[in-house]
Structure 1
Amino acid sequence: MAHIGERATLTILREKNFGLFLDGGDLGEILLPRREMPVKWEIGGQVDVFLYNDSEDRPVATLKQPFAMPGQFARLKVVEVTDVGAFVDWGLPKDLMVPFREQKVRMVPGKFYIVRVYLDENTGRIAASTRLARYLDQTPPPWRGGEAVSLIPYGKTPLGYKAIIDHTHSGLLFANEVFQSLQPGEQLQGYIADVRPDGKIDLTLHAPGRQRVGNLEEQIFSELQARGGFWNISDSSSAQEINDELGVSKRTFKQAIGALFKKGQIVIEENGIRLVKEED
């Protein structure tokens, strides 16, 4: 079945001067404009397309992939504001409308905004909204901790950065765990650090748990070997210095060097860490 706002593999029915007509099932015949036609095709063959509505609300196909599918969030640029709403560039020939009622603040041409793309059930049209909170899932999250997820930062609080998780829920990256500049709308890989009893989700940019510490142990050991057995970094170093060197929090660093110390592989000195020689 072919649906507006989704990709579908459709059969080519015939060619006309302005493009190919595809079998859209219940949607009828759908035009793939000539400028969108694949290099190789044949009548009866199939083509993978994304379906949306043209300026006259007719189903139309494209080989392109929009910057965000319905149900997803993305940072998009406003290209025009008219008397019906703002229009953002989402990577397709027809710009995507953000109705005035869906604008948390009035949008300005040339600026970027984080939007949620959705399919309007009443009109059957694809549109976007900057009212993000209404589209974030409030049901209990499916994660328990440790899972890798995609993150989109979208706001800052005194505690840290709010981020959209896998285009569904919202969580928090604590400021004291972030040692890099985060831009609203950028796509990041992160991890679920914890899901609290009240459903709030703590996030981290580093793999949590034993796997993270184990990987860091190997990294520190290799770096010590490369440096001749001594590295002037220790648990007395600042969190920023540790992150600049290793890209991790000070807590994780202390866990890793503590594990190496217990294994008898290093000694921790006041101004650094040192490999234990075999004869020691």
Structure 2
Amino acid sequence: MADLGRYNRLKVLYSTPHGIYLDGGPHGEILLPTRYVPRGTTLDQLLEVFIYRDSEDRVIATTERPLAIVGEFASLEVVGVHQQMGVFLNWGLPKDLLLPFRELSDYRPQPGDRVLVFVKLDERSDRIVATTKFNKHLSRQPALYRKGQQVPLIIANRTPLGFNALVGGTHMGLLHESRATAPLRPGQEIMGYIAAVHPGNKIDLSLDASGYQRVAPLTDRIIEELKAAGGALPFDDDSSPEGIREVFGASKAAFKQALGALFRQRKIQFTRPGIALVDPTQPAPGDWRPGQR
């Protein structure tokens, strides 16, 4: 049986000038156009294909892989808006994915925006569509995360408290405004951390780890960047939060803590502007040297 919006292993029935036809079960014979037929395909062979509807609403097969299939969340780019139908998204196939206006939960995105969506099979039309109404599609299983754990996030939308974000592709969490230490936008994919897990799968998020856990890896990253740049960088505790986040993936507060730790360890010096590696063979100002009293 061929499932719309998913990968299927279907048997090759016969060949035509337009492509090969596959056994689609209740969907009948499904065309795999010639340009997608793998070299060396034979009759009765089982092929893994993705099944969807083309621009003429026909069930069709492809060996291309979309950016998301039915049952998955994804951050997709808006490529067009139809005033009656909805928003069209690029999901990696010739026919764009429709996000109907009825499936929008809040604002109306514009071309060039990215949006977090869930891909589903619409029961009324039997078509693959996207939705931003997530609640019934999130996992009901307990969120087995631990405080401080690093997790992949996709920003869903802004709320009066901060930002909702999809955690690990299964649960929704809240990134409080005070912990949003970088500019964020819907559809943005970013790494974050678990700040707390409350009863009812309520998850608090942060863009930074806490305490030593966030400083130690960052100090290593700064040293690596310094070495790669020849020993000097134009970043210090006066640099912009956006620039720090882009290069080091950390907040300005975490970056300043890491610089302080490296300075106390005499591994860097401030050049104002910027920082530089300290040459361990040279004495630092104030160090005692032989012959001094």
Q: TM-score, normalised by structure 2?
A: 0.68
| Distance in 2 (alpha carbons) for counterparts of 1:38 and 1:45 | 11
Which residue identity does 1:65 align to in structure 2? R
Q: Bigger CA drift: 63-72 or 121-130?
A: 121-130
1:12 aligns to what?
12
* Deviation, structure 1 residue 144: 1.9
Distance 1:23 1:210 in 2: 58
Show the counterpart of 2:184: 182
Superposition map of 1:72-87 within 5 A: 72-77=73-78, 79=80, 81=82, 85-86=85-86
1:127-151 superposed Cα distances (whole Å, 9 cap, x missing partner): 2223345544566423223444332
Q: Is 1:151 matched with 2:153? A: yes
Q: What is the CA RMSD across the aligned residues, in angstroms?
A: 4.3
Structure 1 residues 209 and 119: alpha-carbon distance in aligned structure 2, compared to 1, 3 A threshold:
farther
Residue segments in structure 2 that go unaligned for 5+ positions in a row: 288-293
Task: Give me the identity figure in percent.
Answer: 37
Secondary structure at the counterpart of residue 186 of structure 2 = coil
Q: Deviations over 1:203-238 (max 9, x none)?
A: 34456675543222334456788659xx9956xx57
Contact 2:180 / 2:207 at 8 angstroms: preserved in 1?
yes
SS in 2 for 1:196: strand
Alpha-carbon distance, 1:177 to partner: 4.5
SS in 1 for 2:198: coil
C-alpha change, 1:276 and 1:157, in structure 2 (3 Å) is farther
2:133 maps to which residue?
131
Once the two structures are superposed, the pairs formed by residues 1-280 of structure 1 within 5 Å of their partners are 2-25=2-25, 27-54=27-54, 58-71=58-71, 72-77=73-78, 79=80, 81=82, 85-86=85-86, 88-89=88-89, 90-104=91-105, 110=111, 112=113, 114=115, 115-121=117-123, 123-137=125-139, 140-157=142-159, 159-186=161-188, 188-198=189-199, 199-206=201-208, 212-220=214-222, 233=236, 240=241, 243=244, 246-253=248-255, 256=258, 265=266
Q: Shift of residue 15 of structure 1? A: 0.6
Amino acid in the other structure paired with 1:3: D
Give SS of 1:215's match: helix
Contact 2:2 2:27 in 1 (8 A): yes
1:6 deviates by: 0.9
Deviating more after overlay: 239-248 vs 44-53: 239-248
Could you tell me the TM-score, scaled by structure 1's length?
0.71
1:211/1:21 CA distance change after superposition, 3 Å: farther
Aligned-partner Cα distance in 2 for 1:63–1:120: 23
